[in-house]
């Protein structure tokens, strides 16, 4: 454990202290405050990444952010060489599989992106084959996005919210349409072009990435889900990130209530339903309350319980779409079931990755229902 840092000595911080400050500074860029975060690799596998900012000094004034300009805080930065060295040292010890790099804005977005690019180029030039995820700044020029695409597995700009009006309220230094949406569009075009030139098998093809801050504004889950669906359609966004708002002292939103963590979880689950299960926002209407918010319940389980006429689904005759409606059956499980028919026992289903405790009330096998309504009530609770 390192000791707490004296703000007056910000300019004398050791490397370890700067690492700590900059890992904590990523609080509003994905998952948690440790130096290691989790992300999904191209094959959907969860991987561990070294997560850091290049600097927590920022010219931006986002109202929820601990790094906003003018806030009294310890400021630190790491050079591209230092980040490359630290990444290698974690990587060689098998502590990480890659790097998640974000930053405050050093002067302007162009200069910041140049530095991020420098980190990625350094690593690749030194033979680094791990995963690189770069959160670029709003307003990053297109030519730099194109160069970042040569090195990064994933990159993109944070949307933070769902509309220009909302954005100007929480990120007054930037313009939603130009600095965010235009960049998401360019990233999508760059990735498409790379794909068409190199073929789908090329390992180093980036994917578009963005994040929403949940609960900093009054926007409903319906608005967020609609934005996610739109971004998936227009910008080929695969997996959005969600970050629960947590008030930071000495920021304009310091007295606002934090957003419950479960809301973030429910939004993640809903985004999987959009991406992996082929559902759309209309399908999800029945699980939203009158004000457009998700309850603290698994949305897939809730959807299934709202549509009892669609169940039970017969494991040996249902099509993939119907199998995917069953809680406890995911895209991989559904494909395995279809490939392995006829299926004669729950044991076989379990081997295919089906979560029987969730699926049982909603399935039958060759006309035999697997459980009764009482167990449905237990599972749903």
In which region does residue 70 sit, left (phi positive, over 0), alpha (psi from -120 to 50) or beta (all else)?
Answer: left
Least separation in angstroms between residue 102's CB and ligand SF4 is: 8
Contact window for ligand SF4 (CB under 6 A) among 62-70, 199-207, 265-273, 281-289 = 62-70
Min dist. Cβ of residue 179 to ligand SF4 (A): 10
Listed ranges 57-65, 82-90, 261-269, 332-340: which one lies at the site for ligand SF4 (CB under 6 A): 57-65
Stretch of 44-52, 64-72, 126-134, 340-348 contacting ligand SF4, by CB under 6 A = 64-72
Stretch that binds ligand SF4, among 60-68, 78-86, 247-255, 343-351 (CB under 6 A): 60-68
Kindly state whether residue 105 participates in binding ligand SF4, applying the rule CB under 6 A.
yes
Question: Closer to ligand SF4 at the Cβ: 35 or 315?
Answer: 35
Minimum distance, C-beta of residue 56 to ligand SF4, in the bound complex (Å): 7
**Where does residue 156 rank: exposed (0-12), middle (13-18), buried (19+ CB within 10 A)?**
buried
When the beta carbons of 65 and 337 are compared against ligand SF4, the nearer one is: 65
Considering CB under 6 A, how many residues would be counted as binding ligand SF4? 10
Is the bond leading into 342 cis (omega within 30 degrees of zero)?
Answer: yes
- Measured CA to CA, the distance from residue 62 to residue 3 in angstroms comes to 29
State the burial class of residue 355 (Cβ atoms within 10 Å of its Cβ: 0-12, 13-18, 19+). Answer: middle
Cα–Cα dist 84/153, whole Å = 16
123-162 mask for ligand SF4 (x: CB under 6 A)? ----------------------------------------
User: DSSP 3-state helix, strand, coil percentages of the chain (rounded to 5)?
Assistant: 45, 15, 40
58 touches ligand SF4 by CB under 6 A: yes
CB of 224 to ligand SF4, least distance (A): 18
> At residue 319, what are phi and psi to the nearest 5 degrees?
-80, 175
- For ligand SF4, the binding residue among 67, 207, 259, 371 (CB under 6 A) is 67
Q: Among 130, 126, 98, 121, which residue's Cα sits nearest to residue 203?
A: 130
Cβ nearer to ligand SF4, comparing 184 with 343: 184
68 binds ligand SF4 (CB under 6 A): yes
Q: Is 139 left (phi over 0), alpha (psi -120 to 50) or beta?
A: left
Q: Give the gyration radius of the chain's Cα atoms.
A: 23
Burial environment of residue 165 by CB neighbours within 10 A (0 to 12, 13 to 18, 19 or more): exposed
**Footprint of ligand SF4 (CB under 6 A):** 28, 58, 60, 62, 65, 67-68, 104-105, 171
């Amino acid at each position: 454990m390192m000791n707490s840092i004296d703000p007056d000595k910000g300019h004398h911080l050791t490397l370890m202290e700067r690492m700590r400050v900059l890992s904590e500074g990523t609080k509003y860029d994905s998952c948690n405050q440790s130096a290691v975060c989790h992300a999904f690799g191209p094959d959907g596998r969860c991987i561990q990444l070294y997560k850091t900012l290049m600097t927590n000094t920022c010219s931006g004034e986002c109202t929820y952010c601990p790094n906003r300009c003018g806030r009294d805080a310890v400021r630190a930065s790491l050079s591209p060489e230092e980040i490359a060295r630290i990444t290698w040292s974690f990587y060689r010890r098998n502590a990480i599989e890659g790097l998640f790099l974000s930053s405050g804005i050093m002067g302007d977005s162009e200069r910041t992106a140049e530095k991020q690019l420098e980190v990625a180029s350094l690593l690749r030039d030194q033979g680094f084959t791990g995963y690189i995820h770069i959160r670029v700044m709003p307003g990053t020029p297109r030519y730099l996005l194109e160069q970042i695409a040569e090195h990064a597995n994933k990159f993109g700009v944070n949307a933070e919210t769902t509309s220009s009006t909302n954005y100007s309220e929480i990120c007054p230094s930037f313009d939603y349409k130009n600095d965010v949406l235009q960049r998401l569009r360019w990233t999508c075009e760059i990735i498409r072009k790379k794909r068409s030139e190199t073929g789908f098998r090329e390992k180093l093809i980036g994917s578009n990435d963005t994040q929403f801050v949940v609960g900093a504004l009054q926007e409903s889950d319906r608005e967020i889900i609609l934005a996610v669906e739109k971004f998936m359609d227009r910008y080929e966004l695969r997996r959005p990130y969600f970050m629960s708002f947590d008030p930071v002292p000495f920021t304009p939103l310091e007295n606002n209530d934090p957003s419950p963590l479960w809301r973030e979880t429910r939004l993640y689950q809903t985004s999987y339903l959009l991406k992996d299960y082929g559902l759309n926002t209309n399908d999800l209407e029945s699980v939203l309350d009158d004000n457009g918010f998700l309850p603290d319940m698994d949305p897939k389980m809730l959807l299934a319980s709202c549509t009892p006429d669609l169940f039970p689904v017969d494991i040996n005759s249902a099509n993939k779409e119907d199998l995917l409606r069953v809680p406890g059956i995911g895209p991989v499980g559904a494909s395995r079931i279809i490939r392995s028919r006829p299926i004669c026992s729950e044991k076989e289903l379990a081997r295919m990755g089906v979560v029987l405790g969730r699926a049982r009330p909603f399935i039958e096998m060759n006309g035999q229902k697997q459980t009764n309504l009482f167990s449905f009530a237990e599972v749903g609770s």
